[in-house]
Amino acid sequence: QVTAKTAFLFILPQYNVSVPTADGELVQYHYGLKDLVTILFYIFIAIILHAVVQEYALDKINRRLHLSKVKHSKFNESGQLVAFHLTSVIWCLYVVVTEGYISNPRSLWENYPHVYLPYQVKFFYLCQLAYWLHALPELYFQKVRKEEIPRQLRCIALYLLHIAGAYLLNLTRLGLILLLLQYLAEFFFHMARLVYFTDENNEKLFNVWAVVFVVTRLFTLTLYILVIGFGLPRVESQALDPERGNFFSFLFNNILFRMSVLLLVCLFQASVMWRFIHFQLRRWREYWNEQSSRKRAAATGTKQQTKLLKRDSGYHENGVVKAENGTSPRTKKLKSP
């Protein structure tokens, strides 16, 4: 029995409470230090699943493709993230639909702070934190190149900051919707990279990703404006109350603070869009350069083929048949007997 209690500490979310409702009591959860133990357990689970996907799927495909070292590393990265993002998108979509966050957008800010969480919401956040924390030792296990490490560390840090911030500041509902949008765009990007590595002439999925990326950025910006600009300022409890989990809703009554936050959000989204536009312009420039070089190569090949045909068959000049070197064919003199 003691062992079972210890096992539950690692496997199941902790800090469950019974919240009275109109239909009776509902079991919900809040966060605490014991969550670190649960996250540690699922970090090991994520490492095992990472190894299974690598060995039984990605390594077998890599042996058939014979990719270079650079492409091999990027293929492994995209393959792992495609599996993770696809699973997370399906899971996150199921959570937001069953909890009614999409059908009722007001629930994103109503009754803030959202201290008590349903089981599936808390478990989702714990697994997300475990996955991105497991990505740190995977940089060593996967032998990632030194020049790639800063980029991947920056990506991991941003995800951890977003997920942990939404979890600790009781903005889990908004965080779920934003994660769903972000993971959807990332899934199409890494899927497009996988298809490109198998066939470099196939870039159609990059166009799909470009459309999805722009749409998700617009939805993300709209959500920020809706929740920060209009939702949180209307919360009934505007007093600072850390014990109840109300950390900053009182700040959004100040229009200067609210506009400053929205300005920072808009600037960040603008920087993301600028990098996206710069990437697309560079990609289109490389595409058109490649097409023009292919046309020049085809034209040069046609000219050379025409010259070779002329040399093989001979040609007429001033009514005289010329040989391959352009000289007139001479008649062979017969020796006298």
Q: How far are the Cα atoms of 4, 324, 325 from residue 312, in angstroms, in the given order?
A: 88, 7, 10
Across the range 20-46, mean pLDDT stands at: 88
Looking at the predicted structure, is the pLDDT value of residue 40 above 90? yes
Higher pLDDT, 107 or 333: 107
Q: Supply the pLDDT for residue 2.
A: 62
Is 86 within 8 Å of 187 (Cβ atoms)? yes
86-136 pLDDT per residue, tens: 999 999 999 999 999 988 888 888 887 788 899 999 999 999 999 999 999
Looking at the predicted structure, is the pLDDT value of residue 67 above 90? no
261-284 pLDDT per residue, tens: 788 888 888 888 888 888 888 878
State the pLDDT confidence band at 251, using cuts at 50, 70 and 90. low
5-19 pLDDT per residue, tens: 778 888 888 888 887
Across the range 139-162, mean pLDDT stands at: 90
Is 34 within 8 Å of 40 (Cβ atoms)? no
**Comparing C-alpha atoms, which of 150, 60, 167, 69 is closest to residue 113?**
167
Q: Supply the pLDDT for residue 85.
A: 97
- The DSSP secondary structure of 191-260, one letter per residue, reads HHHHHHHH-TT--HHHHHHHHHHHHHHHHHHHHHIIIIIIIGGG-S--S-BGGGTB-SGGGGGSHHHHHH
Is 26 within 8 Å of 18 (Cβ atoms)? yes
**Which pTM was predicted?**
0.82
Token digits of residue 88: 């997370």
Contact residues for 278 (Cβ-Cβ < 8 A; gap 6+): none
Q: Supply the pLDDT for residue 71.
A: 85
Q: Supply the pLDDT for residue 285.
A: 82
